[in-house]
Amino acid sequence: MLSKEDNELLSQTAAGTPMGNLIRRYWIPALLSEEIPAPDCAPARVRLLGEELVAFRDTQGRIGLIGEHCAHRGTSLFYGRNEECGLRCIYHGWKYDVEGNVLDTPAEPGDSDFRKKLRHTAYPTHEAGGVIYAYLGPRDKPLFPNYEWTQVPLNQTYVTKCLLECNYLQGLEGECDSSHLSFLHRAVDNARNQPLYKTDTAPVYETEETDFGVRLIATRNAADKQHYVRLSAFVSPVYGCVPAGRPTNELDGFEIHTYVPIDDTHTWRYDIGFHRSRAVQEDEVHRRKQIGPDYLRIRNARNNYLQDRQMQKTVNFTGIEDFLNHDACATESMGPIFDRSREHLGVSDKAVIAVRKFLLSSVKALQEGREPPHIVREARRNWFPHIDCFAYLLPQAIHWRQHFDYLTISGEKENPAAFACRSRLNSSMTNGKTT
């Protein structure tokens, strides 16, 4: 369990709080590209870490993420006119560019230089894989991390977004817990890995601190003197990387479940997935069917997740459709902010404990004036072959590290299955044929 003080430390994310200050040091998802799909389209409201913002794509396609309320007298810029490389307030016509410069104050005298003395709140953005990321920290921003899922072609990646009505940490901790697969996501049939999850409900856990966060390994006994290794990762500060929906022994990508605080009691969950070798098929993005307009889940606490008690007897463990809704029910029903001083942790919570310790250590480092881990400053370090996720069957005599030797503490050795490695190999083969 956590003390009430540590629980508050990790759960509170508004500006000026220790955890809020930590998350602001990293690039985090702010919205989807589809929310501002074209130059001069309508702006989109964005609420991050308790801050009210508005995003827009200007005439040249540049993305702005600026304070929602006009610096003049506070009118919402969400209603503004997005035109001629700026967002103009409907009240008195003040106009802002993507960097927060005040371009025009037409209600002021023509010879006034008043606008030059002003600077509106504006944050840097980076667009990759259908997601617009933002950096909300001090001016000395780090490099955008070249994660593998941000480097693949757009047709080899997918993303969904939905509202989670609880604190971000409740969602994130669910990604660090492999034992719940045997219960929360159990099905009556024996599709995929269901027999294995039913047979061994108490996996053996290993955790390993790395330069990106914590590597999480859960091992189950399997038939024919094998063990089933499920390797996932917590990537600081809000990413849970898991081999969701991937067949055993397939090394063709994974999913990144991301929990971005809207405020302390609401979270945006982004599910990013990618393939290393092929395009995404529409039926693989099954979560889209579970999410309605405005990124609200169709099944939610207000309708009891449309739980079907007969389905609970004959189809699956919960009587609720889709893993996305299973997760939401488990984490939202804890309450808006769970009091972790009341919990009783067991051996199965080893990974959750390791991630909490990592976050507390990161917060302490920042409070002491030290840079937290996984802030990318050098181009040569902007390489992450050691962030990987998979489910794999190995002979019991072989340790997972022996088979996957690129899974080091920091990036040292190329992952032979990685997209970048495959691309270089294909390029080399193509060039060889050409010459």
The residues near 182 (Cβ < 8 Å, ≥ 6 apart) are: 197, 198, 200, 201
In percent, the amount of the chain with pLDDT more than 90 equals 88
Residue 373: band (very low, low, confident or very high) from pLDDT cuts 50, 70, 90? very high
CA 141 to chain centre: 19
What's the pLDDT score for residue 189?
A: 87
Instruction: Give the domain-ending residue among 91, 114, 135.
Output: 135
pLDDT at 435 over 80: no
20 in any annotated domain: no
Range in 144-158, 280-294, 362-376, 412-426 with the lowest mean pLDDT: 412-426
Q: Are residues 359 and 332 in the same domain?
A: yes
Mean pLDDT confidence for 178-194? 86
Would you place residue 190 in the very low, low, confident or very high pLDDT band (cuts 50, 70, 90)?
Answer: confident
The mean per-residue pLDDT over the stretch 427-432 comes to 46
Mean pLDDT to the nearest integer, 59-83: 98
Residues 121 and 174 both lie in one domain: no
Residue 88 in domain:
yes
The mean-pLDDT minimum among 77-81, 108-112, 365-369 falls in 108-112
Same-domain check for residues 106 and 153:
no
pLDDT confidence of 327, banded at 50, 70, 90?
Answer: very high
112 and 159 both lie in a single domain: no
Domain limit, last residue, from 135, 167, 192: 135
Q: Which are the contacts of 74, defined by CB distance < 8 A and separation ≥ 6? A: none
pLDDT of residue 403: 95
Same-domain status, 322 and 379: yes
| Assigned domain for 431 exists | no
- Of the given ranges (98-102, 109-113, 164-168, 385-389), which has the lowest mean pLDDT? 109-113
Q: How far apart are CA 402 and CA 299, in angstroms?
A: 43
Whether residue 169 is predicted with pLDDT greater than 80 in this model: the reply is yes
How do residues 120-166 score in pLDDT, each as one tens digit? Answer: 999 999 999 999 999 999 999 999 999 999 999 999 999 999 999 99
- How many angstroms separate the CA atoms of 49 and 217, rounded? 30
In a domain, 333, yes or no: yes
Lowest pLDDT segment from 85-94, 135-144, 242-251, 413-422: 413-422
Per-residue pLDDT of 204-223, as tens digits, reads: 999 999 999 999 999 999 99
CA atoms within 13 A on the CB side of 176: 28
Position 423 pLDDT exceeds 70: no
Give the residue among 322, 282, 333, 271 at the shortest CA–CA distance from 299: 322
Task: Tell me the pLDDT tens digit for each residue of 274-296.
Answer: 999 999 999 899 999 999 989 99
Angle CA 198–201–203, to nearest 5: 130
Total count of domains within the chain = 2
Q: What is the pLDDT of residue 428?
A: 47
Query: Which CATH number do you get for residue 189?
Result: 3.90.380.10
- Decide which of 198 and 353 is more confident: 353
CATH number at residue 69: 2.102.10.10
| pLDDT value, residue 424 | 58
Say how far apart CA 354 and CA 217 lie, in whole Å: 12
Given 105, 135, 165, the domain boundary residue is 135
- Token readout for 318 is 């919960």
Q: Are residues 255 and 169 in the same domain?
A: yes
Task: Note the pLDDT tens digit of each residue in 393-408.
Answer: 999 999 999 999 999 9
| Arithmetic mean of pLDDT, 194-213 | 91
Whether residue 168 is found in the same domain as residue 278: yes
Look at residue 433 and tell me whether its pLDDT is greater than 90: no
Q: What is the pLDDT of residue 427?
A: 56
For residues 389 and 367, state if they share a domain: yes
Residue 388 belongs to some domain of the structure: yes
Same domain, 309 and 160: yes
The answer to whether residue 83 is domain-embedded is yes
Asked if 251 and 394 touch (Cβ cutoff 8 Å), the reply is no
Are 225 and 287 part of one and the same domain? yes
Q: Could you list the residue range(s) of the whole structural domain that residue 171 is in?
A: 148-422
- Going by pLDDT thresholds of 50, 70 and 90, the confidence category of residue 194 is confident
What is the overall mean pLDDT for the chain?
94
Q: What's the pLDDT score for residue 338?
A: 97
Is 8 inside any structural domain? no
On whether both 157 and 131 belong to a single domain, the answer is: no
Whether 12 is covered by a domain: the verdict is no
Distance CA 192, CA 57 (A): 43
Three-state secondary structure call for residue 239: strand
Q: Structure pTM?
A: 0.94
Residue 25: its pLDDT value, please?
98
240 and 127 in one domain? no
Neighbouring C-beta atoms of residue 389, cutoff 10 Å: 21
